[in-house]
């Protein structure tokens, strides 16, 4: 436990409580972090705060960024993984940009300049090479928002810009605010959770400004993995086999639906080398808002044309008015995905089908891509056709999905994840794209 001295409290009063630019109050744990961040006047003040969601990390970072802006020499850097999150709604930049009397710029060199001449800079590090952008720059304070999302390499590199003149009294601070679960989680655990540097847990149960019971109900809607990170702030949790779906959860969604169809996607996971399978799914978005895995098929053949044609004919008996809106093929490295797309498109046209065939490049591991689908199944938003081919194999794949990519290749799950994720990111997430292909039941 840090033993604060008279200077700590006086500094807090003058630079936080009496700061004309901080027009909001910090609650007790936020104040404790602020005091901790300035305690060492001669060295570097480092800390990690956060853990569970809802603790008010962003408001705290905003206060810490503003703490010394009345002094002309003060320079602060606020970081985030992505540009959109760096300046988006609810970000530190969003909180500070409209303060009366300041000059803010949200493109190019993103910064806020105060009447004293003090500056707060903002940088995104979605590309690790961007760490070179801080070469030659000097900051009194570096605040890493959602620090676990930044790479360890970026976090380490930022220290080189934490410096000041020998006679400068403003303390040096390197602050991390984050939920666990990002790529540098292990690094932060080693340094702060298990190490000797301060970690101050600060979550929704600590925050007097939110309704913690209602917020907890919201967190319960997250999948199991995100609950560990966002609800419990579990820095030691590592995803494992069986965390995405249980057999009971999968079998509970087995049913037969005849609800009118709104949109239908056929998703294709192309076969790789060796014993990998070509897998195809028929994924429906129904008029009542539910989603429905209608059917699967798969083959180990590297010439799956007959299987695909039979599958399309089965679900589109009327070639002049097909039910399927589009066909999406997973675009992976190697081979020639565009050649495969054009080949299948020409094949369908030869048989009288005008269904568009598109490519979609996946992001993240198969395990990560499957998480939204498995979550949707667990909560009953995606139903499974009990009469579908390979439906039990699909459930088995979901149960056995491994975060390290080991075990059986989840071709059925991958095809369904592809279709489901395309529906949500490219169709439902952008209503202007709903006209692609055939729209059913409009």
Q: How far apart are CA 288 and CA 76, in angstroms?
A: 50
Indicate the CATH number for domain 6-231: 3.40.50.300
pLDDT in the model for residue 255: 97
pLDDT cut 90: percent of the chain above it: 79
Structure tokens at 413: 């799950």
pLDDT of residue 333: 59
What digits encode the pLDDT tens for the residues 251-271?
Answer: 999 999 999 999 999 999 988
- In percent, how much of the chain has pLDDT > 70? 95
Measured CA to CA, the distance from residue 389 to residue 84 in angstroms comes to 42
Q: Say what the pLDDT of residue 131 is.
A: 86
Q: In what order do the strands lie in the sheet with 326-330?
A: 254-255, 382-385, 291-299, 278-286, 261-269, 326-330, 357-360
Which of the two residues, 280 and 301, has the higher pLDDT score? 280
Number of helices and strands (H, E) in the chain? 15, 15
Continuous H helices in 146-246: 152-158, 185-188, 212-219, 224-226
- How far apart CA 321 and CA 438 sit, in angstroms, is 8
Reported pTM: 0.76
Tokens of 236: 């030691």
- Per-residue pLDDT, averaged over 95-120, amounts to 92
pLDDT (0 to 100) of residue 363: 84
The rounded distance, in Å, linking the Cα atoms of 91 and 124 is 12
pLDDT at 252: 97
* 362 has pLDDT over 90: no
Q: Which of 117, 161, 116 is nearest to 142 (CA)?
A: 161
Between 437 and 188, residue with greater pLDDT: 188
* Strands laid side by side in the 172-178 sheet: 103-105, 111-113, 119-124, 75-80, 141-145, 172-178, 44-50, 199-201
Q: Where are the beta strands (DSSP E) in 270-325?
A: 278-286, 291-299
DSSP 180: S
Q: What pLDDT does residue 437 have?
A: 31
* Residue carrying structure tokens 């395309």: 422
In this structure, are residues 146 and 178 in contact, taking their beta carbons and an 8 Å threshold? yes
Q: Report the chain's terminal Cα–Cα distance, integer Å.
A: 63
Per-residue pLDDT of 404-442, as tens digits, reads: 877 678 999 999 999 999 999 999 874 333 333 333 322
pLDDT in tens, 32-51: 999 999 998 889 999 999 99
Residue with tokens 């604060």: 4
Say if CB 293 and CB 315 are below 8 A apart: no
Q: Mean of the pLDDT values across residues 335-349? A: 85
What's the pLDDT score for residue 128? 80
Q: What is the rounded CA–CA span in Å between residue 319 and residue 15? A: 72
User: Strand (E) positions, 75-212?
Assistant: 75-80, 103-105, 111-113, 119-124, 141-145, 172-178, 199-201
Q: Quick one: CA dihedral 389, 395, 396, 400, positive or negative? A: positive
Nearest to 281 by CA among 259, 299, 265: 265
* Among candidate residues 325, 404, 397, 413, the one with its CA nearest the CA of residue 362: 413
pLDDT tens digits, one per residue of 274-290 = 667 899 999 999 999 99
Average pLDDT over residues 186-210: 96
Give residue limits of the domains in the chain. Answer: 6-231, 247-435
Tokens of 203: 């979550």
Angle, CA of 338, 339 and 343, to the nearest 5°: 115
Range picked from 54-68, 116-130, 301-315, 335-349 for highest mean pLDDT: 54-68
Q: How many CA atoms lie within 13 A of 115 on its CB side?
A: 6
Q: Averaged over 396-404, what is the pLDDT? A: 92
Query: With 50 as the cut, is the pLDDT of residue 229 above it?
Result: yes
Mean pLDDT to the nearest integer, 144-158? 96
Q: Tell me, which fold does domain 247-435 have in CATH?
A: Nucleotidyltransferase; domain 5 (3.30.420)
155, pLDDT greater than 80: yes
> Which pLDDT belongs to residue 407?
67
Mean pLDDT, the chain, whole residue set: 91
């Amino acid at each position: 436990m840090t033993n604060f001295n008279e200077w700590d409290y006086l500094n807090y009063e003058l630079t936080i409580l009496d700061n004309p630019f901080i027009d909001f109050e910090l609650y007790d744990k936020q104040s404790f972090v602020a005091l901790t961040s300035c305690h060492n006047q001669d060295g570097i003040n480092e800390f990690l705060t956060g853990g569970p969601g809802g603790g008010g990390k962003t408001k705290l970072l905003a206060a810490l960024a503003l703490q010394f802006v009345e002094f002309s020499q003060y320079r602060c850097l606020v970081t985030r993984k992505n540009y959109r999150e760096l300046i988006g709604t609810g970000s530190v930049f969003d909180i500070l940009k409209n303060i009366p009397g300041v000059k803010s710029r949200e493109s190019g060199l993103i910064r806020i300049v105060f009447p004293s001449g003090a500056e707060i800079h903002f940088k995104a590090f979605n590309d690790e090479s961007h760490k070179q952008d801080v070469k030659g720059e000097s900051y009194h304070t570096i605040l890493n928002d959602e620090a676990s999302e930044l790479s360890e390499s970026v976090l380490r590199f930022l220290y080189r810009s934490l410096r000041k003149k020998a006679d400068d009294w403003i303390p040096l601070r390197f602050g991390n605010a984050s939920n666990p679960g990002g790529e540098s989680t292990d690094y932060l655990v080693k340094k702060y959770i298990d190490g000797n540097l301060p970690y101050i847990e600060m979550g929704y149960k600590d925050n007097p400004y939110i309704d913690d019971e209602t917020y907890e109900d919201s967190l319960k809607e997250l999948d199991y993995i995100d609950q560990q990170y966002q609800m419990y702030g579990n820095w030691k949790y590592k995803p494992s086999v069986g965390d995405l779906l249980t057999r009971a959860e999968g079998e509970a969604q087995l049913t037969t639906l005849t609800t009118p169809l709104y949109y239908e996607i056929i998703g294709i996971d192309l076969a790789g080398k060796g014993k990998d399978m070509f897998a195809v799914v028929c994924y429906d978005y129904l008029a009542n808002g539910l989603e429905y895995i209608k059917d699967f098929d798969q083959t180990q053949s590297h010439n799956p044309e007959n299987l695909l044609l039979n599958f399309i004919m089965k679900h589109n008996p009327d070639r002049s008015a097909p039910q399927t809106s589009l066909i999406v093929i997973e675009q992976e490295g190697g081979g020639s995905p565009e050649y495969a797309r054009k080949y299948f498109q020409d094949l369908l046209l030869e048989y009288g089908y005008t269904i568009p065939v598109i490519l979609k490049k996946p992001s993240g591991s198969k395990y990560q891509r499957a998480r939204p689908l498995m979550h949707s199944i667990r909560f009953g938003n995606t139903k499974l056709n009990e009469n579908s081919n390979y439906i039990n194999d699909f459930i088995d794949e979901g149960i056995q999905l491994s975060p390290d990519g080991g075990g059986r290749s989840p071709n059925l799950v991958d095809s369904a994840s592809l279709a489901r994720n395309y529906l949500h990111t490219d169709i439902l997430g952008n209503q202007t794209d709903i006209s692609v292909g055939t729209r059913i039941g409009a």
